[in-house]
Structure 1
């Protein structure tokens, strides 16, 4: 299952995603996590030191490697020079699974507290005024477009805050998107903006409240987001410590907050992916990107990269292995 965390800046999105990832790992679930936020704090939230986090290899810096490996011998993609973040897999592409060992995982991922963790890379001073952060996130998008995960495997991404999470087709790559919402008018406004985007593409959007202090906060969230509200995290010493970057054993989390994490996991496990629809959405956003900028930049018609007879699904992986 692929899971995303989105929300307003400062809502506690990274804190909640790190608690959920830690909960998965503590219960023995295999989990691959990717920090795709413009502010890269997930590694520290999961227990890395600041020095370790700064030295973490990045997907963005390894885009050339990722393209070359995933391209395989797909005849529709003759060269990595014409491969963009939305290039869909086809026959001959090299498909990956979340927990295999390959050149991408060796270069870009490390183990941390029972979690396989990768980061897209942060926006730094050299990027100011000349670069777009989405170019870094594009490495993660390309990887997810070629990744086949099965029941019992969890891929969790901490997305960038605000509407930028919808700046590419990446938001359609997830089975469940958890929107972290504070009991404030501004945070609810962000939820409504997200809900409008998600509705048009059939994205499963679920709200989890955060920084809840009393019954009035809960009533406010229920009134504003209705049935989309799955649960909430109550303010606690454990959650506040997580907000400060202090890692504590997930088993020490308060019972109500643990119950919310359990409800989130149950929601994820209840989803069934439609692989054909997943492929169609990936192709749709590739064609949008091709028309808008990709074909012009590549000097080739990138619509020709679409393999109409291919569906990304477990049988395709079996064919590749054969």
Structure 2
């Protein structure tokens, strides 16, 4: 299952993403965590030490390698340079799974804290004024477009803050989106904006209240987000200690917060997957990107990259080299 954690900056989305990931690992599930926020804090929240976190390879630095690998022998894609962040897979593309070994994972993914971890990389000094952060997040979208997650597996993405995900089709790449919301006007405003943008795309959004001090906080959230409110976290001594650098065993989290994480995981599983919709949305946003800027920038019609008969999913077959074939 592919899961996004979104919300206003400072709402606690990274904290909730890390807690969900650690609880899933403790329950025996394979987990692939990706930090796609411009502020790169997921590794630290997972308990990775500062020196190791600083040395993690950056997806944004390996975009050309990622494109070349995923392109495979797809005859619809003339070159890796012709791929953009929304390029969907087709017959001949290489597909990814969570547990496999491949050159992309060797270059960009590390096994830490009991899971696989990748980071986009934040803004570097050389990026300022000349680069867009979406070019870094594009690596995440490409990988999600080509990733077949199996039963009981979780891909957890700590997303960019606010509604930045709507700069592409990235917001549709998830089976469930958890929007972490403080009981404040600004925070519920982000939820309303996100829900409005996502309304036409059948995006499953659940709100998790955070930093709840009193019943009136819950009442405030219910008033503003209604039935989207899934649950909430009170102030946590466990989380406070973690934010000060002392990350304890996940089993030491307060029982009520552990129960929330378990219910959230159950909700994700009950929601199921719709691979046909996932693939159709990938095609939709690729066409939009092609028409809006891709065709003029690349000098070719990028919509020709779309393989209309290919549906990503467990029924997507591959040959011995991992190349996708139409079933």
Q: Secondary structure at the match of 2:58?
A: coil
CA offset digits 1:106-162 (Å, max 9, x no partner): 111111111100001111111111100000000111011011112111000000101
Is 1:38 aligned to 2:45, yes or no? Answer: no
Contact preservation (8 Å) 1:176, 1:206: yes
- Shift in Å, 1:225: 1.0
Residues 29-108 of structure 1 correspond to what in structure 2 (within 5 A)? Answer: 29-108=29-108
Contact preservation (8 Å) 1:47, 1:112: no
Q: State TM-score, norm by structure 2.
A: 0.96
Match of 1:8 in 2: 8
Match of 2:142 in 1: 142
Tell me: CA distance 1:310–1:54, structure 2 relative to 1, closer, same or farther (3 Å).
same
Match of 1:256 in 2: 256
Residues 1-322 of structure 1 correspond to what in structure 2 (within 5 A)? Answer: 1-318=1-318, 320=323
- Shift in Å, 1:223: 1.6
Contact preservation (8 Å) 2:33, 2:155: yes
Mapped partners of 1:221, 1:315: distance in 2: 41
Contact preservation (8 Å) 2:90, 2:324: no
Q: Secondary structure at the match of 1:315?
A: coil
Q: CA RMSD in A?
A: 1.2
Tell me: CA distance 1:115–1:76, structure 2 relative to 1, closer, same or farther (3 Å).
same
CA offset digits 1:195-227 (Å, max 9, x no partner): 101211110000001000111111111121111
Q: Secondary structure at the match of 1:278?
A: helix
Contact preservation (8 Å) 1:45, 1:246: no
- Shift in Å, 1:271: 1.4
Identify unmatched segments of 5+ residues in structure 1.
none
Q: Secondary structure at the match of 1:179?
A: strand
Q: State TM-score, norm by structure 1.
A: 0.97
Q: Secondary structure at the match of 1:24?
A: helix
Mapped partners of 1:236, 1:80: distance in 2: 47
Mapped partners of 2:214, 2:44: distance in 1: 29
Mapped partners of 1:245, 1:220: distance in 2: 32
Contact preservation (8 Å) 2:29, 2:152: yes
Contact preservation (8 Å) 1:66, 1:104: yes
Tell me: CA distance 1:185–1:252, structure 2 relative to 1, closer, same or farther (3 Å).
same
CA offset digits 1:157-207 (Å, max 9, x no partner): 000101112211111000000000001111111111111012111100000
Tell me: CA distance 1:241–1:54, structure 2 relative to 1, closer, same or farther (3 Å).
same
Q: Secondary structure at the match of 2:317?
A: helix
Number of paired residues?
A: 322
Q: Secondary structure at the match of 2:77?
A: coil
- Shift in Å, 1:244: 3.6
